[in-house]
Amino acid sequence: MKLLEDRILKEAKALSDEVLLVDMFLNHQVDCELMYEIGGEFSRLFARDGISRVVTIEASGIAPAAMCALIMKKPLVILKKQPSLVLKNGILQTEVFSFTKQKSYMLTLKPEFIAQGDRVLLIDDFLANGEAALGAARLIEQAGGTVAGVGAVICKSFMPGLRRLKDMGFHVEALASIKRMGAGEIVFED
């Protein structure tokens, strides 16, 4: 998606050859007009997948996923990462290890928010190792849904997540795929 790639080239910073800082439009300050365009692009890319629900993971997936759900006119469900005082009984949980943050967290879903047979579009901000997406897929399937698509705003294609998900048969789309980055350079896949 050219609009997104241009924005990354203009404003993002490679903090290392593995971590990209995008907190000026995606992770901290959020450009809602850009998020709306991103939502529209996901809605076009997954138009033929019979999507019945959009699912994301808090926190940074929420903005692009909400725009996508709005445009697709489908319900949005946010998987929780923080321990909840009110969600205690009748919940599904799975452990996810974040390589980027070098720690595990429990991903939580209240199964009543997935209908039997739901075809879920999973949207997240970054696809790196794919652990978050695979954890989300486990919960969605336990609740009776199917992951019909995985959309990442930014994919780091030099990390294994994209290949892992594709090899498992998921329809995966990334709006900007970075094949390498480092001091002063960010290079996208063709």
Instruction: State the residues that interact with ligand G4P by CB under 6 A.
Output: 19-22, 27, 57, 59-60, 98-101, 125-132, 161
* Nearer residue to ligand G4P within complex by CB, 52 or 139: 139
Beta carbon of residue 65, minimum distance to ligand G4P (angstroms, whole number): 11
Residue 120 beta carbon to ligand G4P: minimum distance, rounded to whole angstroms: 17
* Cβ proximity to ligand G4P, 127 vs 148, nearer residue: 127
Residue carrying the six token digits 């969605």 = 140
Torsion of CA 20, 66, 51, 139, to 10 degrees: 70
User: Residue 95 Cβ, how far from ligand G4P at the closest point, in Å?
Assistant: 12
Q: In which element (H, E) is residue 45 found?
A: helix 32-45
Which residue in this structure is represented by tokens 């996208």? 188
Helix (H, G, I), strand (E, B) or coil at 95: strand
Nearer to ligand G4P by C-beta: 21 or 115?
A: 21
How many CB atoms within 10 Å of residue 55? Answer: 28
Rounded distance between C-alpha atoms, residue 150 and residue 171, angstroms: 6
DSSP 8-state code for residue 34 = H
User: Could you tell me the smallest distance in angstroms from the CB atom of residue 134 to ligand G4P?
Assistant: 8
Nearer to ligand G4P, 114 or 134 (CB): 134
Q: Nearer to ligand G4P by C-beta: 52 or 63?
A: 63
Closest separation between CB of residue 115 and ligand G4P, Å?
A: 25
* Backbone dihedral region for residue 95 (phi beyond 0: left; psi -120 to 50: alpha; all else: beta): beta
Closest by CA position to 172, among listed 153, 144, 145: 153
